[in-house]
Amino acid sequence: MAARQPAQRGAPWARRLYSAVLYGLAPLIWWRVWRERLPGRPRRERLGQLSPVPAGERTIWLHCASVGEVQAARPLIEALLAHYPGHHLTVTTMTATGAERVQALREALAKPGEAPRLRHAFVPLDFPGAAKRFVARLRPELALFFETELWPNLLHACRRRGVPVAVVNGRLSPRAFRGYRRLRPLMRDALSRVDWLAAKSAADAERFRALGMAPALTRVVGSLKFDISPDGGAIEVSERLRTRLGERPVWVAGSTHPGEDEQLLAAHARLRETLPSALLVLVPRHPRRFDAVAALCREQGLALARRSRDEWPAADTAVYLGDTMGELLALYGAGDLAFVGGSLAPIGGHNLLEPAAMGVPVLTGPGLANFEDVAEVLREAGALVEVADGEALAGTLVRLLADRSECRRLADAGRRVVAANRGALATTLEGLATLLPGE
């Protein structure tokens, strides 16, 4: 392993105070994660009590918060498995939906005749004992934290065991930065245990530096999201869907949240006044909302078909509910237009590049705090359509579905943006090699 650069001095008292507050809030924290479980997976994993890694097995650890981060990290996951063939890769998540996505990736990436090297574990709650136990049992040779996942006690446990740590695809939205700035001593202590940080943008890098990240250990590499490459399975499913849907106008609303679905359904009702055969493919962000969104559609008098039940949209079906996991890319690819959710509600947006990579024009609301860097690149290329609210969305849908040439221009511009900005993955792997050389 290459020599690690020395980190700056942190503020241990801040981490001790943070731990004391966590212990005080333990009942509330435990209640929050109680729902996030999978059948057959014991909740004691949340306390770091996973099965110890077999002797002699080499492990890399990547932590992603939830399903969106796992999806965004897929190019990195595939690259790590390829560059470190002698290692297993353990991906941790906080949510059960993230766990399901890792398991789906494990199956998709499995090679015939070979034992899968991709595993999932739930990340432990950031209590000092749980963090120490988790790192001791996993024994990773390299720990990677995706985007904004900075857990002080886990970072401290890695440093105590000599595990090099990198933050990859590092981002800090202005809102997150304002919150972390109030905890600057704690963040300085946490960041003092990061050996290398790959920032998405110069603005993100500057925010991390303002919180205490050493400039010499920070590099702007771009967003790993641009390295998205739809697999053949997603393309095949989208083409099959599009063929079956025929010539009717189809738009997709993906990763939607409460407060958005009502606006999207109202926009769709207005669209159908002009284009009665128009179909909305609606994909809620969280599986626990599938039934509630289905009920909302029925309350509004919109004929519904549910993908999870193998129901197929009939000629009079207004909404096709994408209530399955791991199919968002394929569903985006089946549309004439794609609206990316989390942007009409105060969420901060979701991955605008997923429909762009599938060759579908990208629409969004105004709330893009978490994806402003990506949005700016798409804007400059004329590959992003922004609407102020649900009412404006309805008019935009009518206009674009009547202008096929503009749709083709938007789709081509989006594809070019994705292709031109790839490269963050190669630079990230180059930086990680200073901490753990490839094989």
Would you state the pLDDT for residue 229? Answer: 80
Closest CA to 54 of 90, 104, 94: 90
Question: Three-state DSSP class for 61?
Answer: strand
The β-bridge partners of 254 are: 283, 340
- What residue has token string 């899968």? 116
Question: Three-state DSSP class for 250?
Answer: strand
Q: Average the pLDDT over each of 1-15, 151-165, 241-255 and give the range with the smallest value.
A: 1-15
Q: In terms of pLDDT, which residue wins out, 412 or 26?
A: 412
Question: Residue 240 pLDDT > 90, yes or no?
Answer: yes
CA distance 37 to 31: 12
Would you state the pLDDT for residue 9? Answer: 55
Span 260-278, mean pLDDT? 97
Span 291-304, mean pLDDT? 96
Task: Calculate what percentage of the chain has a pLDDT beyond 70.
Answer: 97
Q: What is the pTM of this model?
A: 0.76
Question: Residue 438 pLDDT > 80, yes or no?
Answer: no
* pLDDT, tens only, 344-375: 999 989 999 999 999 999 999 999 988 888 89
Residues with catalytic roles: 69
Would you state the pLDDT for residue 3? Answer: 41
CA distance 48 to 60: 16
Closest CA to 350 of 374, 322, 327: 374
